[in-house]
Amino acid sequence: MSSVIEVGIVGGTGYTGAELLRLLARHPRARVKVLTSRQEAGKRADALFPQLRGICDVSYTTPDVAALAGCNAVFFATPHGTAMGMAPELVAKGVKVIDLSADFRLKDPAVYQRWYKHEHSCPELLQEAVFGLPEVHRAEIAKARVIGNPGCYPTAVTLGLLPLLEAGVVETSGLIADCKSGVSGAGRELRLSSMFVEASDTLKSYGVAGHRHQPEIAQELSLAAGEPVGITFIPHLIPMNRGMQATIYARLKRDADLQALYEPLPRRAVRRRDAAGLGAGDALGAWLQPVPCGRAPPGRRRHGGGAVGDRQPGQGRRRPGGAVLQPDVRLRRADRARHAAAVAVNGKHSPRIVIERERSPWRRWAIVGGGTAALLLAGVGLYSYTRAHTVSDFERATLERDRLREDNREMSQKLRAALSENQGLKDQLAYVNRSAQIDDSACAAVKQSLASLQAESADLREQLGFYRGIVSPAETQAGMRVFEFKVSGAQAGKDVAPGTYKYDLVLIQSVRRDKHADGEASITFEGLRGGAKQSLKLADVATDGNKNLVFSFKYFQEFTGSFRFPDGFRPLRATVTLQGEGIPRVDDDYDWNKIMQEARS
């Protein structure tokens, strides 16, 4: 097997993918062979991330299974649902798959579908996938074909409770995980909650009713405890770029040396030789550093982890750092002769070699003596110069002080005059503003009165037209006719079903004033239902019991009521028909769209 492992990264432009690329590009036993991104295809990685100049010159390409199959291992830093679509073909070709999304974390496909709202496409791989937490599954990770890297919150909470549950010193119910995360945990895509104005100077909880990391935490803690656990998990967003803190509460069942339980935890993730096939060595213990009881964990760590289950560097151990635990290798070598050289290899493009030569004692004393003499001579010269110029400097300083005091008095007078003038201008501006406010109020009152008068005038014109049509109708308006037919949507309530309409029908007659006009009015609705034409009578759709509109009047009569169309019926027009003894038949057609436009206006 080659000493250098060729890897591919699918989705190398997000926060997680970029951090993964940085770690792998600096790893002494890894070479990034394939780097994919649909949006950035054709661009070099060091053009998109200048910090990679001189380290990684790979260009982005569109995802291609054939190209990825040429790698020893492929990392997926993609949204949920992407890795499961490509993993079966890659695994079949002997490629190890390390997924940083949630596609291979949960063992139960039904639980995955419940939380991620889509069915898992390869449940057979899900069953053999290993949860990528080396403190718990180190042996399985070394042999696994598919590794589901844990989420950020599950890593912090699981490591914080793991020693306690395994030792059986805390109750398995009533566990509480109060977690805070930086904004980069939400990903690099643009969203309102991640904008600076929304996230800065505030703290807010989210996913209180249920968070996707809850089943991961419950799965691993139940495995550690050997029984189902009950945990309340509340995540919070805090205004910082990256990082996480988890404050965890549990009830002790018995006294125990808690410090002794946590101390072995860092060593569980590593061995002398490779722990995950990528050359991770003894320095991996730096990822976890338990602190003594009673002391708070360190607040800022650029690389590596914080206290167990308490603080993590954002995008560090939580996702790509957990997939590639890269140590900082330092090699030192000393020559027992007269020379000493130290070489530090810390992942930079070219190591720096510093050589320090031992110096003889007489030369050191000569340098010290010469420096002391030079300091004495300089002190004597400075004293002589100061003594000679002290009197003249004091006189100049006194004159300058007096001049500055006079300037200060003049400036104070000018400032007082300016403040007085400024106050006068403020008073004038306030008077003008009050006058403008009064004018605006009067103008608004006039506009309101004018609008009210216009509304009253329109109402009077409508009433005048109504009575004029009855008392002195035009020749074309004589006889029985429909004066007004209106339809409007009824407001849904306790006794009114949605989709109910109200109608208002006014009939007038201006010829037979000596006796009543008797007859019956009917309303017919024509429309489409299921693509076919259909006619409905008011009696078929009435909801208030007014199915027969029988009229008997001298001057006018008004009918009101409500109706509701059956589901799927789309009205096109309405026809009002008047029939009576000695009365010519009247048929008035109304376009339904115009009726609705008049109702809205």
**Residue of 586, 328, 575 whose CA lies nearest to 479:** 586
Which amino acid is residue 62, in one-letter code?
A: T
Q: CA quadruple 529, 534, 535, 539: dihedral positive or negative?
A: negative
239-to-30, 57, 211, 448 alpha-carbon distances in Å: 35, 34, 20, 49
Which amino acid is residue 563, in one-letter code?
A: F
Alpha carbon 507 to its chain's center: 61
Please say whether the beta carbons of 245 and 299 come within 8 A.
Answer: no
Task: Report d(CA 276, CA 100) in Å as an integer.
Answer: 15
Residue with tokens 């070099």: 44
**Residue of 547, 553, 540, 541 whose CA lies nearest to 580:** 553
Residues in the chain: 601
Active site members: 152
Please say whether the beta carbons of 116 and 212 come within 8 A.
Answer: yes
Name residue 556's beta-bridge partners: 508
Task: Report d(CA 575, CA 396) in Å as an integer.
Answer: 108
**Residue of 93, 69, 51 whose CA lies nearest to 10:** 69
Structure tokens at 243: 């990082």
Task: Compute how many other C-beta atoms are within 10 angstroms of the C-beta atom of residue 396.
Answer: 11
Q: CA quadruple 180, 186, 187, 191: dihedral positive or negative?
A: negative
Task: Report d(CA 100, CA 117) in Å as an integer.
Answer: 19
249-to-169, 211, 259, 318 alpha-carbon distances in Å: 13, 19, 16, 21
Q: What is the largest CA-CA distance in the chain?
A: 143
